[in-house]
Structure 1
Amino acid sequence: MTANEASADARAAIVQASQLLFTAGVMSHSGHGNLSARIDDDRFLLTSTGVVRDLRPEQLATVTVGGDVVDGELGPENAEIIHMHSVVYNTRDDIAAIIHTHSPAATAFAVANASLPCRTEPLLRFGQAQTVPVVPWGPRGSDLSVKGITRVLAEQPGTNAVLLGNHGLLAFGPDPVATGRLVIAIEESAAAELAAAALGGAVDFPPGALDAVRAGMKAGQH
């Protein structure tokens, strides 16, 4: 695959993921978010504006993992979050897509600085079989915020999402659509946790739940 083909495929996948999020109804009223996807080891595509409703393929800039914009332009609101994405790519070789949203229920946990336990099966199925940790607040895209993300990823290297304290959600995965599905699972799980509080609180999975889900998924592939 040529570099141009890889870029075109990534653009289409980011647009598809954005549409998935709005169709699922997990975005904030403002439609704010940012999405990115790797093109190769050194570059990724990043949405050029902070509102991704009706996102188009041309609304993406090419950025290096070092933080330089090499093709296209970023609005001021997105130029400051380059390093929020690049730090994840630089830390995790297995990650090829990142989505940041202000999804309401997940953001409630972020505002409360409360980690989100894994207590719903979609989280197990879509890549977050552990608690979603909280990164302490730092100004958007700042050194403080980026260092916080780095520290939490080092402490929990298997997590595929973090809650940005007093801010929102940052999720990552192998491709934009899979990451979009994880965002949906996290938002649904956060909403379920909040609703379960009125019934006495959510309950943890029994031991072996993840293995049971994996076995079921494997059996379903045959």
Structure 2
Amino acid sequence: MKLRQKKILINHKRTERIYREQGLQIKTRARRKKIAAVERQPVELPENPGVVWAMDFVSDSVAHRRKLKILTVIDPVSNRSPLIHPAFSINGKEVANRLEIAKEEHGKPEYIQCDNGPEFRSKELDQWCYENGIKLVFSRPGKPTDNCHIESFNGTFRNECLNSHYFLSLKDAREKIIDWWEEYNVERPQKRLKGMTPLEYEGMLKKRKSNPTSGRM
């Protein structure tokens, strides 16, 4: 801009030529490597639970005014949800903290499938996954089917819980959401799970893994 003010003709080609002649180099900012990320592709569904978790966000509101953000996580093999967390605001650090709590109770997965939201691409979550030996697998742009299991769970969650309740406060929302979540995991038989609840089906898969001679159902 200063050169143009002085009526000196300049463009990017001339600038690059001058830099080459003077042996100069334009310093470019190094892009931070996602140390826990892997190639964008859907994870092949394993036979055993606890290997892959899928996570996403669902939005709602409290008293039709303040936005409610809900972190949802599901094991696509057993359909059991190890984590659901409603809050007014959830950043990458909070996602990592909630996953740490879920890890202590359920163990850690090998992969976590998610979309490209800023919370999931944060350095805090990336660092947590790296320290725990977990690979983050991001869905391909325009391919929501890469994470179809969490999309299906979120649809059920919205139809059966969010659309059925009016939340007076964050406390009220958490109580109603956790009640639904516990009922889904423990009491809800599912046709896909051979008529078992997610908790029962997960127990059956773990028992089969520890006793492979029992064969498949």
TM-score by length of 2: 0.32
TM-score by length of 1: 0.31
